Amino acid sequence: MAGSDLKSLLSAPIRNPGVPLNLDWVLETRANRSAIERRSASLSARRSVKKADQAAWLLRAISCIDLTTLSGDDTPANVKRLCAKAKHPLRKEVVDALQIQSLNLTTGAVCVYHEMVPTAVASLEGSGIPVAAVSAGFPHGLSPMKVRLAEIRESVAAGAKEIDIVITRAHVLKGEWSALYDEVAAFREACGEAHLKSILATGELGTLQNVGRASLVAMMAGSDFIKTSTGKETENAVIPVGLVMTRAIRDFHQQTGYEVGFKPAGGIRTAKQSIDWLTLMNEELGRRWLDNHLFRIGASGLLTDIERQLEHFVTGRYASASRLPMP
């Protein structure tokens, strides 16, 4: 990779300030399900990476993980362990065998409920790893608007650098695009300097056309990222939905010049799946979107499988899951 290319890949994008709602653009958006499904199937069926190339892709995937714990029984102790794993996602012997000490590899962020933001911020101090807080009535998004906005502001005040909000699905299902735009714009304003990741909860939007339209409206309203799912829906991150959303990102970038990030979340548990998502980003959006400024994977158990695959690359043996427990 040439030096200028590397600089371009690693530089942070100019933040999306949002643009006026363009209903003609939104309503022109269509989705051909059969074509989308054929293209999605081709991503993993015809492409494979092995050995050293696979290890490199998996290291990239680690750097893009939003390491997440969103359980009702979260405690400060398990959040501290999660943060320790985010700072050192691979065991020292694997790092040494791969000779990647200079990478100072970490995950992209740690994602928690608001209550755990102060604990995560303190645990990650000095690491450069941002804390992301789920907010705005997560996961259902049905609490009063003033409560959702207050929750965002409190998480930002507590030190969260990224806010993962959830939209009101009814706005999409009823075609209330102005209401959706106003809602996301209000969330963006409440975030201030913190980056806004808008969760579309795509498994509850009914059609791929709705996914495409909601993606555009969320970006027009100023989202820094668009995200597939809360992880609590029946259907979470799937490649056909990702294809629709990444093409909406590409369209938005071509029309406005602003780069918006993408975050699949929910159900991504295997190293193979992480490579499928990286392949999608590379082929649909290009190398700029292979960096954690513009791509994240919301996951909890994924890191364990990636670590197993990297240990196999190093030793020729798969470690048992019990030897590589998540905190």
The reply to whether 246 falls in a domain is: yes
pLDDT number for residue 5 = 42
Q: Is 12 inside any structural domain?
A: no
| Per-residue pLDDT tens over the stretch 51-85 | 899 999 999 999 999 999 999 999 999 999 999 99
Cβ count within 10 A of residue 182 = 15
Cis peptide preceding 240, ω within 30 of 0: no
Name residues whose C-beta falls within 8 Å of residue 184's C-beta, 6 or more positions apart in sequence: 165, 167, 196, 198, 217, 218, 221, 222, 223
In DSSP terms, 197 is beta-bridged to 164, 225
Which residue among 85, 263, 276, 291 is the active-site one? 263
Domain carrying residue 135: 25-315
Query: Which of 234-238, 280-284, 314-318 has the largest mean confidence?
Result: 280-284
Residue 324 is assigned to a structural domain of this protein: no
Per-residue pLDDT, 327: 55
164 is catalytic: yes
Q: Is residue 13 part of a domain?
A: no
Q: Which amino acid is at 19?
A: V
What is the mean pLDDT of the segment spanning 145-159? 98
Q: Quote the Cα angle for 63-66-72, to 5°.
A: 150
pLDDT at site 4: 39
Residue 326: per-residue pLDDT: 63
6 in a domain, yes or no?
no
87 carries an active-site annotation: no
* Residue range 131-145: mean pLDDT, rounded: 96
Structural domain includes residue 321: no
Number of independent structural domains in the chain: 1
Q: What ranges in 158-197 are assigned the alpha helix state H?
A: 169-173, 177-191
Task: Kindly report, residue by residue over 193-228, the tens digit of the pLDDT.
Answer: 999 999 999 999 999 999 999 999 999 999 999 999
Give the model's pLDDT for residue 90.
95
> Which CATH number is 46's domain given?
3.20.20.70
**Is residue 30 situated within a structural domain?**
yes
Which region holds residue 206: left if phi is over 0, alpha if psi is between -120 and 50, else beta? left
Instruction: Spot the catalytic one: 224, 227, 276, 291.
Output: 227
What is the structure's pLDDT at 319? 74
Q: Which of 66, 85, 87, 164 is catalytic?
A: 164
Quick check: is 274 in a domain?
yes
146 is known as an active-site residue: no
